[in-house]
Structures are given as C-alpha cells and as structure tokens.
Amino acid sequence: MNSNKACCWILTILVGGFVLTMLLIGWGISRAMSNGFSAKLASNVAVQENSWLVFNISGPIADYNSEPDLGPLGGGRGSSLNDMVRALKLAETDPDVSGVILRPRGATGMASLRELRQALLSFRETDKPIYAHLDVATDRDYYLASVADTILLMPGRLSGINFGGMAYSNTYVKGTFEKLGIKFHVLHAGRYKGAYEDLAKDSMSTDLRESLVTLFADLYETYVRETAEARTGLTYAALDHELKEGQELIVSAGTCLKNGYVDRLEDWPVLRKRLQGDAEEFNAVSPSSYVNSKHTVKVESTQNEIAVLHAQGAIEFGDDEGMFDDENITVKEFNKQLDALAEDENVKAVVVRVTSPGGSALASKQILEAARRLNEQKPLIVSMGGVAASGGYYISLAADKIVAQPNTITGSIGVVSVFPSAEELYKKIGAREETISIGRWANFFRIDEGLGPDQERVLMSLMDTVYAEFRDDVTAGRGLSAAALDTIAEGRVWTGTQALARGLVDTLGGVDVAIAIAVREAALGPDDYKISYYPERDDVFAFFVKHFASQLRLIDTAGQKLEMLNDPAAILAYVKNFFNRMEFVQTLLPVTLDQ
C-alpha cells in the first residue's frame, strides 16, 4: 500500500469515529431539546427594546436554509433571503425594532439583492430609518445600500467604493486535456447552448458570445437605472460615466462624498454608539434570529395554507445517499414533497421558488410531471430566484403563472451532452481495452476510441428528441407557437425583463408577488391564510446526521483525488465515470454567472 492510500485509510477511520461520536452527541442534544432545552438557544432569544435589525452580508445569499439554528452549537448557516424578507415584514410594525442597518461586504447575486432591496423599499415607507455603513464596498454592495435613507462610509485613504461593472470570463481547456491524451466530445441541441464548450473549444463560440453580450447589457441597464433612482441627486448618466470612464479603481471616501454617492463619512463604532443612545449596550439582532424569536409568538387563526417550496441547486437523480444532500434538487426527495403538498387538504396553493441552473434532462422531466399532478388539484405559482434556466426553467412550466426578477437569469431552452475519449492517454500509459459484447449497442461508447459518426448520429438523434419534447412542453405550458419559440429558444439565456417581453414569464417581482398571485388564485381573503415554508427545518438529530455524513464523503472524495495525482489508472477511472451517469443528456445553463 502506497503512502497516499495509507493516508486516505487513516483519515477515513478517524473521521468515521468522529462522525459516530458526533451522531451520538446530536441524538443527546435532540432529546434534550425535546425536553425544553431549546428555549436557551439563540433561536428563541427575546428581542429587546430599541433593537436594530442588522444585515451583515458577504458573498451569495442562500434563498432558504432548512438547517436548525443551534446558537452557540452551530448550524443555521446565517440568514437566508427568506429570513431577511420575513424579518423586514415583521419589523415594520414591531415597536421593539428601531430600524435597519445594512453592512454589505462583497455581496453577490443581483436578483437576490434586488429582492432584498424591494423588501427594504417597503420597510422604508414606515417611519423607521435605514442606515447603510460601508468600508471598502463593491458596486453590488452599493446597489443594496442605495435604498438606505443614509449611507455612511468609513473615512480614510483605505475606504471607498469599487465600481467594477460586470464581466464574465471562462478558461478554455481543450488544449490542456489534449496534452493529457483526453478529448471531450460535446454535442448541443440549440445553437446558443454553449454548456461544456470550454472542454471542446479553444475559444468562446460566436453564438454564446452574442447571447451573453445581450444578457449583460440588460443586467447592466437594470443595475444603473435602479441604483440611480434610489439615490436623490445621483443620475443615470453620472453613474454610467463612473462605471465606464471612472479614473479610480477604488473611488476614495472624499470623492464619494463629493459626488453624492454617500451622505457622511463616519466610523462604524461612532454610528453604533450614536444609535445606542442612553442604553447600556447596542442591541443588534440578525434577521434569522429575529424571525425565529417571532416564530412561536404568532398564533394562526386559519388552517388555510399557502405553501412556499424551495427548489435550490442542480437537478439530479440522486440515490440512496440523497437524504444527506440538501444542496441539490433530487427527483425522489423533491417529488415526494410535491406529492405531499398536492394531497394536503390544508394547502390551498403552492409557490415553488426555483433557483437552479438545471441538470439532468430526465430528472427535470420527472419533476415537471409531478408539478403537473399537483397543479391538477390546486394553483401552482413559480417564483424565480437568481437563476432558473434550462432544467430550472423546464420544471417551472407546470405553473399557472411564472414570476421573475428583472435580473433573473432564465431561458436556456436546449440540450447538451459531453463524452470524453482517451485514445492518446491509453497510448501514453500503455493500456489496452479488451471487451466481449453481444448486441449492437452493448459496447457503444469506447473510451479508448473517438466518438465515431455512428455514435454521434445516434446520440444527436436522442438529443434532438429530448429537445423537441422540451420545446413541446414550453409551447404547451406557455401558450407559445412553435414559430415564436424558435426565435427565443436554441439554448439562449435571457434576463427576467427580456423573458417577460418574449412570453417566457408572466410578471416581474419576488416571492411576495408570487404569494399574492397564489392567494388570488386560491380565492382566499387577506386574513384567511398562513404561509408555510418547505422543506421544513431539520430536527437536530437529522442535522447532525446530514452534516457529518457529508463531511465523511468530503474526506473520501479528497482521498480519491489525492490518489489520482500519482496514478494514471485513477485518472482513467475518473474519466470513465462520464459513461456511468444515467443523466448524460443535460438541460444545463451554459455558463456559471456570478452577478
């Protein structure tokens, strides 16, 4: 046994023991919480008088989080967009909440930020103030901060705002894999469907570039217009000039104040002390803690329920280990949830919040069929998050209405497949494939040979069939003619605004708009329903099971990659894994965009 394998085995044994120990601890905590211990955790802390709702935001904002908030014991993963929007709504009429403080530091995800901005704009209609405090901010941070009554920036030479604009780049690695003796064969149904082209081309295709240029132009327009509209004295032309012609990489604090980008230069401790007033300490509460503190207070007077079901991540089949994975959408678990909501008599309408770049074409089709079964029994509305494209758009087609943000990424109606071949790698390592087969297709894919014309013909025929079915489902679900769809499909991506103009979505807005439509479709009065969110929060034991099982898999994966570094056979086994996937025909967004 070489040293790498020995290391992997030792790690696996140690982690396995650790996982078993932590599962026992989790079981103990779960039992303790069932006996009242949960009252001592952060999720049930009472909100004090003169509290400030503080939004510390960095990186992407998760739509929804089903993990329990264990306070000092961990879990929760911070405030989700769902927590933030609900917290703002509750705080509007809460006398204990004095106002809101925004502290964005590298926030990303323009559609999520816009949804949060809309909730903040609603909150701003109350008499309670919104402060935004920045130190070194990005243009995304400023997009969020622009809705505040007062924007403050840390004084000094190191503070400022980076109006970086929008860009997308991708590394094309065809030549890299060729040096290893590996070639990727990528087939597309849809001329703009550029998924995986970085594996098979040396540069971006003209069609994909055209699609992305159009997409980014609209995203940029929405950003500049809405940011300028939110700030008195800041014009579209001034902000557009700063982004396109600005002379400073980081616009200095003094320049920001001079140009009206901010209202005052002030350190965070100074602001905090001023807002604290005569109180003994500054009372800050996060959105997730605030929502959890209010969860047990409200007593519902109706059984009528509007269910909001979150669909986050890539779409895949999953397997028996799917119960440990809440990062993706698996057919078994998601369809079980759809069927349960369909049969629940208290649920009068369902809003599915889709945030997904797609994935397996077959899995997407199966989810669509389950959504159709649900819609036969009750209204179904889709709310699109930051991205709901390709398979993410496919699973939305059963909805009575589709709601998207202006800067949602959607569309991408097309199909892609990718297969590697390793003829040259076989020669380099002296390997030879010997097979025995009966049946024309038994040995259809040969990793030691290229993709021949017969294989490509059969595969393209299958993909064309899947694409045709995708198009048929779009025309049926959206009431579009085949001719109209031809001009907007072909794998092309659109913003929510562009999708609305082309009939791919029905209206613009966030999940609040989708809920309002669901209430109307279910013929419910304004006080005759409650909102429930799914999947329901995990209990503590389930949280420990999922969390530590995923850590064990992470260690195992790292060990496998460690073996690959010095083992050509392991590399070959990894490449062969492409042929073992059931979901080799993909409805997947062609690019990963960090807006």
Nearest to 264 by CA among 354, 145, 172, 417: 145
Alpha-carbon distance 115 to 84, whole Å?
A: 10
CB-based contact 264:159 (threshold 8 Å)? no
Tell me the sheet residues that pair with 50: none
Q: What are the structure tokens assigned to 315, written together?
A: 């779409």
How many beta carbons lie within 10 A of that of residue 50, not counting itself?
A: 16
The pLDDT score that the predictor gives to residue 538 is 52
Q: Which residues contact 349 (CB under 8 A, 6 or more apart)?
A: 306, 307, 378, 379, 380, 381, 518, 519, 521, 522, 524
In this structure, are residues 519 and 349 in contact, taking their beta carbons and an 8 Å threshold? yes
Name the H helices within 344-452. Answer: 361-375, 391-394, 423-429
Task: Per-residue pLDDT tens, the chain, 595 aa: give them.
Answer: 455 555 555 555 555 555 555 555 555 555 544 444 443 444 455 788 899 999 999 989 999 987 655 444 443 347 899 999 999 999 999 999 999 999 999 999 999 999 999 999 999 999 899 999 999 999 999 999 999 999 999 999 889 999 999 988 889 989 988 888 888 889 899 899 988 899 899 999 999 999 999 999 999 999 999 999 999 999 999 999 999 999 999 999 999 999 999 999 999 999 999 999 888 899 999 999 899 887 644 456 789 999 999 999 999 886 544 443 457 899 999 999 999 999 999 999 999 999 999 999 999 999 999 999 999 999 999 999 999 999 999 999 999 999 999 999 999 999 998 888 888 888 888 888 888 888 877 777 778 887 788 888 888 998 999 999 999 999 999 999 999 999 999 999 999 999 999 999 999 999 999 999 999 999 999 989 999 999 976 544 444 444 445 444 544 554 554 454 455 666 566 555 555 444 567 887 777 765 5
The per-residue pLDDT for 455 is 82
* 587 SS3 class: strand
- Tell which residue, 187, 202, 254, has the closest CA to residue 463: 187
pLDDT at 582 (0 to 100) = 45
CA angle 118, 123, 128 (to 5 degrees): 150
Helices 511-521 and 81-91: crossing angle in degrees, nearest 10, is 70
Residue 578, helix vs strand vs coil: helix
Q: Using DSSP, state whether 456 is helix, strand or coil.
A: helix
d(Cα 339, Cα 347) in Å, to the nearest integer? 12
Strands 530-534 and 493-495: unpaired
53, two tokens: 């709702």
* 420 beta partners: 184
Whole-model pTM: value is 0.84
CA 12 to chain centre: 31
* Rounded distance between C-alpha atoms, residue 316 and residue 574, angstroms: 19
CA distance 190 to 485: 12
Written as six digits, the tokens of 349 are 């309408």
**Strand duo 347-356 + 380-389: pairing:** parallel
Helix (H, G, I), strand (E, B) or coil at 146: coil
- One DSSP character per residue, 47-103 reads PPTTEEEEEEEEEEPPS---S---GGG--S-S--HHHHHHHHHHHTT-TTEEEEEEE
Q: Find tokens 């004090």 and name the residue.
A: 48
Give me the sheet containing 251-252, strands edge to edge.
136-138, 160-162, 251-252
DSSP assignment letter at 506: S
Hey, which residues does 384 pair with through a beta bridge? 354
pLDDT value at position 13? 54
Q: Do the Cβ atoms of 375 and 398 come closer than 8 Å?
A: yes
pLDDT score at 295 = 61
pLDDT score at 67:
62
Q: What are phi and psi of 415, to 5 degrees?
A: -135, 145
